[in-house]
Structure 1
Amino acid sequence: MQSEINIMASFKHLGVAPEFIQALKELGIKHPSEIQEKAIPVLLKTKTDFIGLAQTGTGKTAAFGLPMLQNIDPKLSHVQTLILAPTRELVQQIKKQLFKFTKYGESKIFVEGVYGGEKIDIQIQNLKRTTHVIVATPGRLNDLLDRKIIDIRKVNTVILDEADEMLSMGFKDALTKILDHTPKSKNTWLFSATIPSGIQQIIEHYMSPQAVRVVINKNELVNANISHTYITTTIDQKQNVILSLLEARPDDRGIIFCRTKAGTKTLTEFLKEEGFSVEALEGDMQQRDREKVMRAFKKGNLQVLISTDVSARGIDVSDLAFVLHHQLPEHIEYYTHRSGRTARAGKTGQSIALILGSELKRIHEMNKELGIKFKEISI
């Protein structure tokens, strides 16, 4: 009983309304994470632009979702909040989480998801209903704006989630077009793991110089609960090293990242022949095949997912013990996104990079730029 009182008091102290606290308790969210603790009071009490710099898996959906929902006026039928996210999976995840948060609310708050891979006619039909919040990928939202299906001229809040991922996926022009459709009086809340130059340009052009900025683990851009290791090997030996790593972790689930679609397919076929429960996730897949793989992985029917960087964007699967880098990513910031698939929601995880001797310099660069300490291990 005492622990329940403490749980409720902690979120109550941040200003979260009782109906949302009840939903949090049911979801097993016992204590505010650091980004929630620092963001929620500001976003509830102040009409402000906001920049939250935090890794994936740190509770950002609740950090922006709870104050956003609490500020919605259900009596108004127009779209009041627009949330932009890089992938279909993340849009669906955010929508699902917001729905759970509103379970005990007296007045219904209507949230719609807008994304590619589903028939646009179905989404158009859904948007004819009262909609307070739209969660969208930039590409599909722009399509609907071009068709004049969506009116976002009255939104009072725009939330950019995983902003750096949206940029790295080539959505900068789409983002600026969308932001130009929204009123200048709105508040923009931007959440990102990193602030590359493209994001800085958006901040300077579309956000107030007085925007509140919160940085979580500012000395560590990668989740502190992740251990970072590397194995020096050769191209010919990589597959055998991966075999040994998986054999040593028969009960652990994880993601293996490859830089190319061809590499993803080749490794998947090899591991299947060796008897491992694996599937690939890559750009040439049909949406239904992608969804089938993701359902199996989320249910625990697959031990390992093998994916390219872009295909894995927005994946949120709990209890992943490791991330394995078949090759180091092309861009250093991609390492942050890859590693953030493990150690989510306060859990621990391991990030293992397979490197060639000539790539040791890149490990030192990531050491310095990301503020992490790599440890060399052997099989």
Structure 2
Amino acid sequence: MAEEEKEEESVPVLPWMRNPVDVSLSEECQLHLLPFLDPRLRVALQKMGISSLFPVQVAVWQETIGPGAFERDLCINSPTGSGKTLAYALPIVQVLSTRAVNCLRALVVLPTRDLALQVKEVFDAIAPAVGLSVGLAVGQSSIADEISNLVRRPKHEAGICYDPEGPPPELQSAVDILVATPGRLMDHINSTKGFTLEHLCYLVVDETDRLLREAYQSWLPTVLRITEANDGGLSNTRDFSLPIFGSLKTIRRCGIERGFKGRSYPRLVKMVLSATLTRDPSKLAQLNLHHPLFLTAGKRRYRFPEKLESYKLICESKLKPIYLVSLLQSLGGEKCIVFTSSVESTHRLCTLLNFFTDLQLKIKEYSGLQRQSVRSKTLKAFREGDVQVLVSSDAMTRGMDVEGVKNVVNYNMPPYIKTYIHRAGRTARAGQSGRCFTLLRKEEVKRFKKLLQKADNNSCPVYSVPSSSIESLRTTYTSALEKLKEVVESEASKKHKIGMKPLQARDQKKNAKSRFLWLSDTNTS
């Protein structure tokens, strides 16, 4: 990540990124004033509690349903919480609803299961209103169940009999829109009979930076190769104005250049989105974009949510957990996410906090080491208010939207401005206010100031907790550390019993004491 940021600072800006569309110049638009919006979608949005669209949503609508009409691929760089998911979901659902074609026509790819589940919820809220179905393909779930939901045999029509000894009836897609993670998408491409991307019209790459940074089984070149190959080596050209008879392949028409005007969506349209969109030409080249249009919020590359307040909390090095506990007490039970530097420190910090019995807060761990079912249950409890504090690794950083999060705490100073932006973006979403606190040792203050200056943010006052609160927690802290040490040693012993190599188990137990001290003196980088 560090090398990536340094490289991006030195690379030339692509010509099409030099004069972007400033989405912040668009104004919120009431649903009844939004041109061409399907009345059924208006009702579905109102049921979601939405009465108007945010600026980025209005800007994307104008470039897709309005005069833009999907003639160019879109690259959208907009702050966290600004409404990017609905910005692409709404126009895609609107366009697909105008043509009754039973095949997979839109694919949305996201880097994590939790983010995919969240995006599917948005599509589920609007797509059924216009007769479209949405599928999900993520890891840590039954692939057999996914297959049954994604692919089906055609229904037997009256008067038509299928030869039991002949070839089986052609399998068909059971969904119009698929939300997927890269690994599980590749599983279906390689192994699922009847799963095809040959009719794909829209490809959304959400959290583009992360998806381009990690290979994920070469999912992107595979998808592009499939869609291009299905057009006989030429670009994707689909004329959905043709009548639908027999095989789904009759909807395909080949042989004209991408971007040809005069036919209905003659190419695979791509939409790429991030709050910190990469500007590296070599990375963006992987997407094979068609006359891309760059939409961004203002001239600054890195932007915080409009109503975010940032604070720094200066800590004594060995008492950092006490400062966190005192901070949580001062927040009065408001919904809060505490970010750490790794899944291991997430587990230890959450364990330690729960030994502060007088804290009277429900605190849960949320990290990539947990099973999907555990994370989903924890996230549900957090959303419903049964859990007030979530201690999280960066599995929670990108894109996750939990209503009512008033505070974000960086237990460890983020090493990069991108990380800070994505973490802080879990609060102050959708026009709401929120606060981001960063716990710092004295030697980190100057480096943190330089970090924020990359986003032109010089306003980060010091937040103080009462010294009396720190002193009153010392005895409890000492006891909590002893209990944490016992837990760490116990977990090392259990790993040995379930089959860990003896040398690994010995080293873990030997280092248990040093690792528990590692938390207490906050050297968590």
* TM-score calculated relative to the size of structure 2: 0.66
Change (3 A) 1:170 1:260: farther
1:62 to 62, 71, 86: 86
Aligned to 1:176: 221
Query: C-alpha distance in 1, partners of 2:290/2:89?
Result: 23
CA contact (8 A) 1:59 1:345 kept: yes
Alignment coverage as a number of residue pairs = 369
Query: C-alpha distance in 2, partners of 1:218/1:357?
Result: 33
Q: Does 1:83 align with 2:108?
A: yes
After TM superposition, the structure 1 = structure 2 runs for residues 197-346 of structure 1, keeping only pairs within 5 Å, are 200-208=281-289, 210-219=291-300, 220-275=302-357, 276-346=361-431
Aligned to 1:47: 71
CA contact (8 A) 2:106 2:200 kept: yes
Aligned to 1:16: 37
Partner SS for 1:378: coil
Letter of the 1:114 partner, please give it.
Answer: A
Partner SS for 2:79: coil
Cα offset, 1:312, TM superposition? 4.5
1:375 to 461, 465, 476: 461
Partner SS for 1:367: helix
Change (3 A) 1:258 1:187: same
Partner SS for 2:271: strand
CA contact (8 A) 1:87 1:314 kept: no
Query: C-alpha distance in 2, partners of 1:86/1:57?
Result: 18
CA contact (8 A) 1:7 1:25 kept: no
Change (3 A) 1:167 1:209: closer
Cα offset, 1:103, TM superposition? 4.7
Query: C-alpha distance in 2, partners of 1:263/1:206?
Result: 36
Letter of the 2:343 partner, please give it.
Answer: K
CA contact (8 A) 1:86 1:169 kept: no
Cα offset, 1:372, TM superposition? 2.1
Q: Does 1:157 align with 2:202?
A: yes
2:211 to 139, 154, 166: 166
Partner SS for 1:196: coil
Cα offset, 1:251, TM superposition? 3.0
Cα offset, 1:314, TM superposition? 4.2
Partner SS for 1:376: coil
Tell which deviates more after alignment, 238-247 or 283-292: 283-292
Letter of the 2:285 partner, please give it.
Answer: E
Partner SS for 1:91: helix
Aligned to 1:3: none
Query: C-alpha distance in 2, partners of 1:181/1:362?
Result: 46
Change (3 A) 1:330 1:179: farther
Query: C-alpha distance in 1, partners of 2:110/2:443?
Result: 36
Cα offset, 1:49, TM superposition? 0.4
Q: Does 1:112 align with 2:135?
A: yes
Change (3 A) 1:174 1:208: closer
Change (3 A) 1:301 1:79: same
Q: Deviations over 1:143-175 (max 9, x none)?
A: 111215421122111011121243456648433
Partner SS for 1:301: coil
Tell which deviates more after alignment, 170-179 or 56-65: 170-179
Query: C-alpha distance in 2, partners of 1:169/1:339?
Result: 23
1:26 to 12, 30, 47: 47
Partner SS for 1:160: strand
Query: C-alpha distance in 1, partners of 2:398/2:305?
Result: 17
Larger Rg: 2
Aligned to 1:37: 58
Letter of the 2:51 partner, please give it.
Answer: K
* TM-score calculated relative to the size of structure 1: 0.91
Gap regions ≥5 residues in structure 2: 1-28, 153-173, 229-234, 236-266, 466-525
Letter of the 1:65 partner, please give it.
Answer: A
Aligned to 1:138: 182
Cα offset, 1:196, TM superposition? 2.7
CA contact (8 A) 2:367 2:396 kept: yes
Change (3 A) 1:202 1:111: farther
Aligned to 1:126: 149
Q: Deviations over 1:307-351 (max 9, x none)?
A: 111355443211100100000123331111111111111101001
Cα offset, 1:67, TM superposition? 0.6
CA contact (8 A) 1:23 1:103 kept: no
Determine what percentage of the aligned residue pairs are the same residue. Answer: 25
Partner SS for 2:145: helix
Partner SS for 1:236: helix
Q: Deviations over 1:14-38 (max 9, x none)?
A: x322211121122121221111111
CA contact (8 A) 1:87 1:137 kept: yes
Partner SS for 1:113: strand
Change (3 A) 1:177 1:371: farther
CA contact (8 A) 2:147 2:192 kept: no
Cα offset, 1:364, TM superposition? 2.4
1:7 to 11, 30, 53: 30
Tell which deviates more after alignment, 269-278 or 249-258: 269-278
Cα offset, 1:118, TM superposition? 0.4
CA contact (8 A) 1:297 1:303 kept: yes
Aligned to 1:192: 274
Q: Deviations over 1:19-73 (max 9, x none)?
A: 1112112212122111111111211223320011012211112111111011115
Partner SS for 2:295: strand
